[in-house]
Amino acid sequence: MSYHSLFQRSLNMNPQRRTGIALWLGGMALALGIGTVVGEQAPPTESKGVQISPPEALDLTPWADDMKGRQLRIRKLTVEPGGVLGLHSHKDRPDASYIVEGELTEYRAGGYVRQRTAGMLGTSGKDVTHWLENKGTTPAVLIVVDVLKQP
């Protein structure tokens, strides 16, 4: 039987039976863990096990008028095993990062999860709010370059 004929049969099916099948399929999806996880753990808002080097910063005003009041900053971050870089936004602070060693798991809204390992580059634009966790057994070291408003 073709998919088309199955579809046609489902349209002619008793409405109560269609509802029953839909409920059964929905229940199976939940039972199998498909869909939104109820009671999902909230992201951490505080960082722990993270060392940040004193940043070096460069005022960008001399290069472009639209950069007035902004600076280019570079930092080295070390996230210890079990450490987290708490939930933060890049609304006013775009960045680019490079994982020197170790690995981090990045979490963003909408269920986005990405494993970031040594040698990988990453960027975070104005629509990014995320947090990172070191689930590994060795420190994760990354170099982060960002553009931010001068303090």
Asked whether residue 43 is domain-assigned, the answer is no
Same domain, 59 and 125: yes
pLDDT band at 54 (very low <50, low <70, confident <90, very high): confident
Same domain, 73 and 100: yes
Tell me the sheet residues that pair with 99. 142
Asked whether residue 40 is domain-assigned, the answer is no
Same domain, 62 and 86: yes
In percent, the amount of the chain with pLDDT more than 90 equals 46
Asked whether residue 141 is domain-assigned, the answer is yes
Same domain, 65 and 100: yes
Same domain, 80 and 18: no
Asked whether residue 14 is domain-assigned, the answer is yes
Token pair 């609304």: residue: 91
Same domain, 53 and 90: yes
Same domain, 18 and 58: no
Q: Is 70 exposed, middle or buried (0-12, 13-18, 19+ CB in 10 A)?
A: buried
Question: Structurally, how many domains does the chain consist of?
Answer: 2
* pLDDT, tens digit, 9 for 90 and up, residues 74-84: 999 999 999 99
With CA atoms as reference, report the closest residue to 147 among 47, 60, 54, 52.
60
What's the domain range around 113?
48-149
Same domain, 71 and 139: yes
Asked whether residue 41 is domain-assigned, the answer is no
Same domain, 23 and 60: no
Same domain, 26 and 61: no
Whether the model pTM is above 0.85: no
Same domain, 62 and 25: no
Pairwise CA distance, residues 134 & 37, whole Å: 22
Same domain, 14 and 68: no
Average pLDDT over residues 111-131: 92
pLDDT band at 63 (very low <50, low <70, confident <90, very high): confident
Compare 145 and 38 and report the one with higher pLDDT: 145
